[in-house]
Chains A and B, each alone.
Chain A
């Protein structure tokens, strides 16, 4: 029997310098049947031309006139994909040659496994961990685990995690058909968390596979904290809770938002955490302003998001109790969230 086809979708926006290494690693995978799709998300550089010359038709290049965000770009790539398994990858990476093989093996091992999270380490110093799955805070903020830790083998066991990082993960086509692709209203940030929660709510599990190794250059394209990023992170957090959280957790979340804000204020003052980094460049009052604007924008989108919530609930196979168990098991403390880098 033939191996099932795996489609890999890579998004790039003005990232020509990364593409040779990224795509070569995909061309050299040990897994035999691979389809590589590169979505050029509104680049001004000649990434498309470079890839066509270098890889010919072996990499399918899709050119979009404008940046459609992480969500729009990936969804377009998804429409073009023919594989039974779909992997998503950032362009500023190099994957291990057994990346697809390892993820595929994990997904095949149990039917309830719906998504695979990878071991993402720093490209520049592979002893430093970038992300090994996400943790969640009760206000809906997701944060990667293991960030900037030294790799002492503490994440070398295959285990269940809440969600993968959108930087590199794999899922199945039929699962995406069921829960829908990325939510394009989110545009960027939190979209991977949103998709993962929907997959989990529909009954599948997310498994972390340490053998699926990815070297990530990190913040090469996302950049430092900017007003734009802060706005979207906050607004999307709100929408995520509206869409996916059980009603109890949703109603409680303002308390946790408040708790986080206290820690972030402390972080802004003492120069620690994301708030601290932000305030090095911009005024702390502007941060507060942005948080308020973001929540207002979030409220403005409430009717639409509520409708999406109903759709998600209709597909929900897990109990709310189970959801609370996740919040507890995969939790992040407010202190860690606000003050850790």
Chain B
């Protein structure tokens, strides 16, 4: 088979978990599969940034993903042509949108449907486009990959997709490499970000569904009761919603204690995970919820919200709370920071839970799906 992977949407450092998904998927496919050929379509920003196996080729496209209309037009008008030039047997678009007119079958990963449930995350005009493109991409794809069972349900209901078209393939984490640097070095790196105290970690972009406002309020309550921690927020910032968060922080007088690090390089992120005391993840809706797994693999106790997709990821290995209740978030943080037996239990269970997710498995299931789609298409002809 000759398989294309549409990485045009990927802006390194700006698209959150979907970047991790794509990079690891490509790398795991490379380890697993040496016989099929792959063509990865990259844009200007991500050119040369993928670790590609022998049977992988990069086709660099002169598109700037930062200029979204440009990328969309290119994806719709030029990519199909390139796909035909390569004589692809199928094209996988892991970024929720795909070319609508393709001469080969399309496999689409829908990352989440946040734009439907938290519409104000996006400006009005963008919303119209996203809704149209995602819906049509799903309709015209031979298979849709959902990142969790709950996400699959949403896709079935909200996008009116045929039930046998949507497959659940979980993401995974790579085995945490214990940071090889001595502790002193790690602390120096953290200080670079302004991290000086023991800290609570959350990994979340500045979006409404990440529920950072309630987290800030809970953190404020925790501080009032005497907790001496910083709150580190690792995730993309600098959008409209970030201003709202800034206002909240200054009104609660937490400027010293809350640090937004923006997107950080992988190595630094590992160090941050290694030194954190707790991972709290109060999101209201997720396609999957990768930070929860990352934290578990790094040996952090995890407190997360009880939304359906997170339940699939965390199992019973996390301290679960109601994300709409500031009091419950505060209590979760307090308990997880102060009770050693609880912490030990959560860490132990976390390791077990993280083991259940494996990139090899993800790659294998994805490859199986590629084969199914390819066979079905061949038979149709």
Interface positions of A (Cβ within 8 A of B): 45-46, 48-49, 52-53, 56-58, 60-65, 76, 79-80, 82
Contacts and interface: CB of A to CB of B under 8 A. Distances in A.
Contacts of A79: 119, 127
B145 interface: no
B284 A62 contact: no
B323 A57 contact: no
Contact of A62 (B116, B308, B325): B116
Contact of B116 (A46, A56, A60, A64): A60
A216 B209 CA distance: 32
Contacts of B308: 52-53, 56
Contacts of A80: 116, 119
Mostly, the B contact residues are helix
Given A49-B284, A49-B323, A63-B208, A57 B119 contact: no
A61 B323 contact: no
A82 B160 contact: yes
B150 interface: yes
A57 B118 CA distance: 14
B192 interface: no
B153, B156, B323, B324: most-surrounded residue (chain A CB, <10 A): B324
A13 to B, nearest CB: 14
B157 interface: yes
Interface residues of B, number: 24
Q: Which 10 A-B pairs have the closest CB atoms?
A: A46-B324, A57-B153, A57-B157, A57-B154, A49-B324, A63-B118, A56-B153, A65-B208, A62-B117, A61-B117
A58 B157 contact: yes
A46 B322 contact: yes
A76 B124 CA distance: 11
Contact of A57 (B156, B209, B284, B322): B156
A137 to B, nearest CB: 37
B158 interface: yes
A62 B285 CA distance: 11
B160 A48 contact: no
Nearest to A52: B308
Contacts of B119: 62, 64, 76, 79-80
Contact of A49 (B150, B158, B307): B307
A57 B307 contact: no
B294 interface: no
Given A46-B325, A57-B157, A60-B157, 7 more contacts: A49-B323, A57-B154, A57-B156, A60-B116, A60-B158, A62-B119, A65-B208
B112 interface: no
Contacts of B257: none
Residue from the set A48, A57, A65 with the largest chain B CB neighbour count within 10 Å: A57
A173 to B, nearest CB: 15
A73 to B, nearest CB: 11
Contacts of A64: 119-120
B306 interface: yes
Interface string B322-351: 111100000000000000000000000000
Contacts of A53: 306, 308
Nearest to B135: A82
